[in-house]
Amino acid sequence: MPRVKYRDSDIALMARMMRAEAEGEGKQGMLYVGNVIVNRAVADCLDFKDVRTINDVIYQVQGGNYSFEAVQKGNLFYNRARSVEKRLAKQNLDYWRQHPAKYALWYFNPYAPCPPTWYGQPFAGQFKNHCYYEPEGGTCDSVY
């Protein structure tokens, strides 16, 4: 059973975002970004209470900006989804979850060492340039 309901168009949309956000980090890095996308769709807490679909996650606006920088700035995001990223996105949607993004709801590239917390949320781990953060214990049980 998939982690979240999805359509073929969701696979392509998610694949485009994974590539735009983490192409330089290879397949593994793209899978971690995919974890965050799916986790946000599943989360019933914090900033993600009204986000239920992949489309909702990708185009969510917070503080006047899209949650994912690639939506407004990313040339790669607006390219056609490639088959390799579609396969990775489908893996995330169906079952794939691994540390450090297994329960993560956020990631970013600090261009410096990863801080121990980010907006009060604990550091879960790092892969290449991205730092991953999961919700503080007890604040978002739906992700776990």
Q: Let me know: does 95 contact 124? Beta carbons within 8 Å.
A: no
Residue 106, token pair as written in the block = 């956020």
Domains in the chain, ordered, with CATH? 8-102 (1.10.10.2520)
**For residue 137, is pLDDT > 90?**
no
21-41: pLDDT as tens digits: 999 999 999 999 999 999 999
Q: Which residues contact 63 (CB under 8 A, 6 or more apart)?
A: none
* Percent of the chain predicted with pLDDT > 90: 95
- 3 CB-side CA count, 13 A: 26
Mean pLDDT over 92-106 rounds to 97
Range of weakest confidence among 18-27, 66-75, 97-106: 66-75
Q: In which band, very low, low, confident or very high, does the pLDDT at 138 lie, cut at 50, 70 and 90? A: confident
Give the mean pLDDT of the chain: 96
71-90: pLDDT as tens digits: 998 789 999 999 999 999 99
Q: Which residues contact 61 (CB under 8 A, 6 or more apart)?
A: 67
